[in-house]
Amino acid sequence: MSKRIAIFASGSGSNAENIYHFFKRNPQVEVVLIITNNSTAKVIERANRLKIPCKVIDKEIFYNSNQVVEWIKADAVDLIVLAGFLWLIPSYLIAAFPNKIINIHPALLPKYGGKGMYGNKVHEAVIVNREKESGITIHYVNEKYDEGNIIFQAKCEITLNDNSETLANKIHELEYKHFPQVIESLLL
């Protein structure tokens, strides 16, 4: 029986699509569900195009009901992957799936993590602070933003010519290369 992934995303879904394509060639792993908290997110279009069931949730459902747990259990999900999902994961969800929820962060944690540190905000802070390197961190999710145990990190150099946009491109390359491989290593 194949391993099953649910992806939570709030934005464009480029990492979700990359994960889908990585595992499309592998009969042992499949993306079975995408959940988003943004009814206008581009990830919905991607899910529809890729024929992956997609559910849109609001804060009431997410924080005050058991609906998400029911969906995930109904789909027999083995791993929940946060790929640009901006809401804090509630403790009931973490308790229902211990060490089965992972996140990718666009910096080398513990630096540049926490509430409000996502996407371009991270890259801008890294550039302003004249860091020599940045990267990605894949970690388990706990009740606090970006504080779960680190699974994997990959680094890239920051040059004097880099700005937040060029750094974002370097980070995306690391995400696309490493995130599916780390997911695979956790599942197989």
Question: Of 150, 149, 144, 138, whose CA–CA distance to 182 is shortest?
Answer: 138
Q: What is the pLDDT of residues 61-71, one digit of tens each?
A: 999 999 999 99
Angle between helices 164-187 and 14-24 (to 10 degrees): 40
Please report the domains of the chain, with CATH numbers, ordered by start residue: 3-187 (3.40.50.170)
Q: What is the pLDDT of residues 4-51, one digit of tens each?
A: 999 999 999 999 999 999 999 899 999 999 999 999 999 999 999 999
Catalytic residues: 105
Q: How much is the pTM?
A: 0.96
